[in-house]
Amino acid sequence: MKLTGSRRGTALILAIFFLVILNFLAMALLELLPLEMRAAGRNRLETAAFLAADSGVLHALAFIEDRVSRGETPLPGDAASHVLSGETGNWNWEVTLQADPETPPRGTGTVRVYEIHSLASLDGIAYRAVRALARQETFARYAWFEDQRRDDLVITTTAWHFDGPFHSNSRIRLQIPNDFYSRDPSPTFEGEVTTVEAYDTPDGVAYMGTPPYDAQGNPLPERYLKIFRGGRESVRTGARRIELPSDSGALAQAAKGQSPITPSTPGVHLGQDASSEGLAGGLTVVGDVDSMVLAVEEEGNRSVTIKQGSSTTKVVEVTDQAITDPDGNPVPRGSTIVYKPDGTFTVHSGLTNGLIYGTGNIRGLQGVNKGKRTVAVDMASRKEISLGGPLTRADTPVGQAPQGGRDSLGLVAYNVRVPTSVARTLNPPTDVYAAILAGTKNSEGGLYIDSWQTRTPGRIRLYGGLMMAYKPAWANLSVFDGVPLNGVTMESVYDPNLASSPPPFFPTIGKFRVLRYQEEAPSVD
């Protein structure tokens, strides 16, 4: 169709109009392009700066963990601070490590805490700063830890349940019943499983029964998930060895407080401030203990009653409500009163640090714990703690899992024993709310069940975690269904609160956890 003159003019005007619009759009794009490029450049620069600062934090954590694992003080020369520096690509980072005042050897604490300040710079210009707070982890982070395991001891997947981190410096063997994969129970291992040693198998674990992989060693996910909550990826062999402490000297020092004299007279001694009658430590019990009972008084205050032969000492910490002493005088909140074997008493300002340390064996430990507390004995002398009955918590109904860390309890001994008078039945079980560490480095210390071969089946329900140098035998189980034939079985319920809120002065490991991580404006002197 042939256009008339008026139509050709209209088409020309429209063409010019759109050309003008496109021109304006092109000019606007040219204006925006440099801005976008500059913004992209800034983002790239900021990201690189953050990664450089973060690499400084990671390097500092690796530096601290390496020195601790080798038994060295993280800050050379016992200094309060230390500076590290390095490069990430074209970036430079500088890290300042600052020790907390209570971090050993500066303070009396057993858990090391460090502030990490990392500054990233490029061509001498500071771009990004990161500040982190790292705290050393304790053995209480584990649901189960073992240093040594006999090869003939087998974990029956239908009889055991580990609902937290599991670590073995040895290797593990699992019994898989014939119908196990057709069942639908919770996985045997709920958390990460790490072992240092490994069997010559596709995953380093020995299986008695049908393994969770095919004939070529290829993992079968549906089988792995029956055993491990996280599947094949949650099982790691060849992990770094974690050493148990060789003694409990640090706990002995913390119990005696600032006193320059180590208690040696049989009886109960308070860790007092060197310059006053106030408290600056815990309790040191010299000699063997026949019974130790933890309790909560009518006023809500916590107490411990210690019997040594014909002598009985009771220590009441006024944590909740003021009381009166035997003479009718008020004992205010925040005080400690000691009722001595001779019928006298003493009142001290302040509360203990929660540590009870025994130089001898502690037998008959039982009761209700309130507040953070650790009961420990001289591990270098192979002293033991024997249970006298249930150990429960004031903040948790019996039979329920703890919801917080207020009343966490730790037991530290060469051996922890379950005598024949305890855990005599399967139902009800004997409840123990505690993180238990038994044994020292390269020893056979552990949790022992007295006369397990001949005793009727019993059960302990442990709410907390169990760490041992050596895993002995506790019971005989039916190979078909895991039913106990004799001895004592352990029902372990992991308390994750112990990882972030451990009992006082509980032994530490070489790993550190970042508690706080924040970016901040860079500043240079």
For residue 293, the model assigns a pLDDT of 98
For residue 396, the model assigns a pLDDT of 97
| Integer Rg of the chain from CA | 31
Q: Which of 421, 412, 413 is nearest to 388 (CA)?
A: 421
Query: Reduced to 3 states, what is the DSSP secondary structure of residue 40?
Result: helix
Query: Reduced to 3 states, what is the DSSP secondary structure of residue 69?
Result: helix
For residue 285, the model assigns a pLDDT of 98
**DSSP conformation letters of 70-117:** TT--SSGGG-SEEEEEEEETTEEEEEEEEE-TTSTTTSS-SS-EEEEE
End-to-end CA, the chain? 81
Q: How many whole angstroms separate alpha carbon 32 and alpha carbon 48?
A: 24
Q: Which of 472, 311, 294 is nearest to 368 (CA)?
A: 294
Q: How many whole angstroms separate alpha carbon 304 and alpha carbon 288?
A: 16
Q: How many whole angstroms separate alpha carbon 2 and alpha carbon 12?
A: 15
Query: Reduced to 3 states, what is the DSSP secondary structure of residue 322?
Result: coil
**What are the phi and psi torsion angles at 240 (to 5°)?**
-70, 140
For residue 20, the model assigns a pLDDT of 74
For residue 488, the model assigns a pLDDT of 95
For residue 38, the model assigns a pLDDT of 54
pLDDT in single tens digits along all 525 residues of the chain = 555 556 666 767 777 777 777 776 766 666 655 654 455 556 778 888 889 999 999 999 999 998 887 778 888 777 888 999 999 888 999 999 999 988 877 776 778 899 999 999 998 889 899 999 999 999 999 999 999 988 888 998 988 899 999 999 999 999 999 889 998 889 999 999 999 999 999 999 999 999 999 999 999 999 999 999 999 999 999 998 999 999 999 899 999 988 778 889 999 999 987 666 678 899 999 999 999 999 999 999 999 999 999 999 999 999 999 999 999 999 999 999 999 999 999 999 999 999 999 999 999 999 999 999 999 999 999 999 999 999 999 999 999 999 999 999 999 999 999 999 999 999 999 999 999 999 999 999 999 999 999 999 999 999 999 999 999 989 987 766 668 889 999 999 999 999 988 999 999 998 898 999 998 877 644
Query: Reduced to 3 states, what is the DSSP secondary structure of residue 51?
Result: helix
Contact between 506 and 114 under an 8 Å Cβ cutoff? The reply is no
Contact between 212 and 218 under an 8 Å Cβ cutoff? The reply is no
Predicted structure pTM score: 0.85
Query: 91: which strand partners?
Result: 88
**DSSP conformation letters of 257-321:** TT-SS---SSEEEEEE-TTSSSEEEEEEEES-BSEEEEEE-TTS-EEEEEEETTEEEEEEE-SSS
CA angle in degrees (0–180, nearest 5) for 185-484-451: 140
Q: Per the structure block, which two tokens stand in for 264? A: 């040696």
CB atoms within 10 A of CB 65: 18
Q: How many whole angstroms separate alpha carbon 469 and alpha carbon 445?
A: 5
Q: How many whole angstroms separate alpha carbon 385 and alpha carbon 362?
A: 5
- Specify the DSSP class assigned to residue 141: G
Interstrand relation of 323-324 and 330-331 (parallel, antiparallel or unpaired): antiparallel
Q: Which of 314, 430, 448, 334 is nearest to 386 (CA)?
A: 448
